[in-house]
Amino acid sequence: MSTPLRRRLLWSAAAATALATTLAACAAGPGSGGAPTSSAGSHAQDFSDIVVDPPEGPVRGTGTVLDVDGDTQFCLGAVAESYPPQCTGVPLLGWSWDRVDGSETSGGTTWGAYAVTGQYDGESITVTDPPILLALYDPMRPVDPTGGVDGEATTTELTEIQDDLSSRLGTDALALWSERSYVWVQVVWDDGQLQQALDSEYGEGTVIVLPALSEIDAP
């Protein structure tokens, strides 16, 4: 993307799976309330064009670090199960394999799964703290943004909204699913502008945005 303030919408498969499991555990069945206040596809806005401010402080995310001939990416989304693996992620600056264990190399590709802490400028992540091998990382239990309350959209509405979002987010959306009468979408980072736009489009409490990078307290 052309501007450092442009948010790259990438999905964290590990975080999505963990949160989906948490949310499913407190599900009481699909909601049966009213329809969203705005119909899917009623506007022409391309949500992937929304520009947000990057976080001011450090962030942390979990995923696969993939280094192909010195080009290092932090893949917060799906990883192709090839050998070596393949994925597209956020450029990772300041990474050193000398600082970590658990990596694997094949040809010119080195990779491993880690919790990474750094500064995100909207385009890339600059590593600021020693990475943690993902197998040894003990994340905090994710907070349910719904407060444990099921949504009110019907199955038909959820399907329409999910299809509409898939088209309008394009390849910037790494994953998109419906659960507990909500549509869920995770992105690399959102300062609230994407959530606000989706609330305006589909009605509040219909689409839930989950940033893959979480702000952490600076040391």
> How distant is the alpha carbon of residue 67 from its chain centre?
20
pTM of the predicted protein model: 0.78
Domain ranges of the chain: 13-52+140-215, 59-136
State pLDDT tens for residues 130-186. 999 999 999 888 889 999 999 999 999 999 999 999 988 876 777 899 999 999 998
How far apart, in whole angstroms, are the C-alpha atoms of residue 158 and residue 142?
Answer: 23
Distance CA 57, CA 207 (A): 26
Residue 118 contacts residue 58 (beta carbons within 8 Å): yes
Q: Which residues of the chain have pLDDT under 70?
A: 1-45, 171, 218-219
The confidence score (pLDDT) of residue 22 equals: 41
3-class DSSP state of 212: coil
| 5: its two tokens | 């303030």
How big is the CA angle at 58 (ends 55 and 61), to the nearest 5 degrees?
95
pLDDT confidence of residue 173: 72
Instruction: Supply the DSSP string of 27-80, one letter for each residue.
Output: --S----PPPSS-TT-S---GGG-B-PPPSS-EEEEEEEEEETTEEEEE-S--B
Q: Residue 147 class from Cβ within 10 Å (0-12 exposed, 13-18 middle, 19+ buried)?
A: exposed
The pLDDT score that the predictor gives to residue 49 is 80
**CA atoms within 13 Å, Cβ hemisphere of 83:** 2
Are the C-beta atoms of 178 and 31 separated by less than 8 Å? no
Rounded distance, CA 144 to CA 159, Å? Answer: 22
Number of Cβ within 10 Å of residue 93's Cβ equals 15
Q: What is the largest CA-CA distance in the chain?
A: 55
Displacement of CA 30 from its chain's centroid (Å): 24
* Both tokens assigned to 108: 């010119």
